[in-house]
Structure 1
Amino acid sequence: MRKLPTQDRAQRTIETIFQATAQIVESDGEGALTTNKVAKKAGFSIGTLYQYFPSKEAILLAMINRERRRVLDGLQALMKRAVQEHRDAEAVVRELVHTLVESFGSGPKHKRAMIRLAWRMDHHENITQALREAAERNAFALSQLNDPALRAPTPAMMFVATRAVMGAIRSASLEDSPLLGTPEFEDELVRMVLGVIRV
């Protein structure tokens, strides 16, 4: 972003730009996306849009970063609650997997084009950093569950579990697989994770 929004009005402008961008991608496809179309749909001049974003790629990457941060924060809250409530590990894994599939794979049908675009555009370093952060947080939370059926988390275990889940979701999203959003897909991911983390 060219400038960071500090006032409520600027925040609303950014939000409107993001909504307009998503609507164009979802209704007309990635190829139809231009900064001029975004500005027009958002109801702003192109100059206003350029105050914040130098290109359509910059808009998309800002949207991707914001969504990733939102999901990671939500997962952290989920894990914190699970530890406080002494929840069963399988139920926790199932909720984590469901959240990840909904956020980065399926979601409503109209949202899938935006998700696929995000997977194609996102920078490898950003994805890697997010996976590292998630693995560290989840390892800590799993160790706090005090479930004797779970192995003590190791870096190798968490690397395999996070990359396997996110790799499967990414592939299903990019392939627009009919498995996305089905209980069978999530069940297999849950079985895979439990196979890695259980004794």
Structure 2
Amino acid sequence: MLYIMRHGKTEWNKIEKLQGSVDIPLNEEGVLVAQKAHDKYKEIEFDICYCSPLIRAKKTAEIFLEGKDTPIVIDDRLKEMSFGEFEGSVGYFNNPENPISKLFTDPESYTSVGGSESLDHLAERTLSFLNEIAYPLHKEGKSVLIVCHGALGCSIISHIKNTPVSDFWDNLMGNCELVKLL
């Protein structure tokens, strides 16, 4: 089995501040939601967890897997998409003056700006992880959990579902939502 989960909420999620690769911790609600997910899915066993190096994902994985012997392996390819100079901006989604808004409103037309990562680079990174780690383990019959982020999770799910770029955000998971991929 192959599962994926997005990290719990942070203060920046709460105020719609663009996080990207900025290392923001979980807030109280994020911890609580991760604990609820732990309780809700406690019957599911995982052989291994691969996780983003960012603290919000690592803490989510630790809370979610508390009491289990599941090893947590950090993989830099699971770090959230970088939004370059736009990280920390508020109102990015509904502000057409902010060039990063194109990523969220029309991903097919988005081009990397201000040091942000392109969707093509994100896709290469996530496909590399899937081909080198996740798919081989799945083929061996292992149960694998991936704990990551919004855009990165969309990229992984897009590969597996063969989702067109125009529908990229249709794959966005809620915070601490566990999705079975394979």
Return the TM-score normalized by structure 2: 0.27
Larger Cα-atom Rg:
1
Greater fraction strand = 2
Greater fraction helix = 1
Return the TM-score normalized by structure 1: 0.26
